[in-house]
């Protein structure tokens, strides 16, 4: 059974950092892409970052470029999202998702989803 477990969320002050983890089970990352999405109250889900296991290519939303870094530890079947210089507008539930093939920023392309982890950034 494919499962994704997102963790690492919490409450942090603006300017602080958090590292989210997405641990996968039931499949190996080889050939898959992992994406991070977020959804703030009253807003649509948006793609934050993604990484392709095949070539290591990455994508970042403009709103997080230079502040967030996605990385993958294939041996641990875990993808990380290092979030630095957090802003109140980063407050959201963060989800990780997996799809076969190259990473895209479109949530509809992803087949498997984790349960989400809440990130709250206070001003």
One digit per residue, the tens of pLDDT, for the chain of length 123 reads 889 999 999 999 999 999 999 999 988 878 899 999 999 999 999 999 999 988 889 999 999 999 999 999 988 999 999 999 999 999 999 999 999 988 888 999 999 999 999 999 999
What is the b/e burial string over 56-79, where b = at least 16 CB atoms within 10 angstroms of the residue's CB? eeebbbeebeeebebebeeeebbb
Beta bridge partners of 47: 37
Q: Angle CA(111)–CA(114)–CA(118) in degrees, nearest 5?
A: 140
CA separation for the pair 11, 55 (Å, rounded): 34
């Amino acid at each position: 059974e494919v499962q994704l477990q997102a963790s690492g969320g919490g409450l942090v002050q603006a300017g602080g950092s958090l590292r989210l983890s997405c641990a996968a089970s039931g499949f190996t990352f080889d050939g898959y892409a992992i994406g991070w999405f977020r959804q703030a109250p009253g807003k649509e889900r948006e793609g934050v970052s993604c990484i392709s296991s095949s070539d290591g290519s990455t994508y970042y939303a403009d709103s997080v470029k230079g502040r967030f870094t996605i990385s993958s530890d294939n041996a641990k079947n875990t993808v990380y999202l290092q979030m630095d210089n957090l802003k109140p507008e980063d407050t959201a539930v963060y989800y990780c998702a997996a799809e076969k093939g190259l990473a895209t920023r479109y949530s509809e392309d992803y087949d498997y989803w984790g349960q989400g982890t809440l990130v709250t950034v206070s001003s």
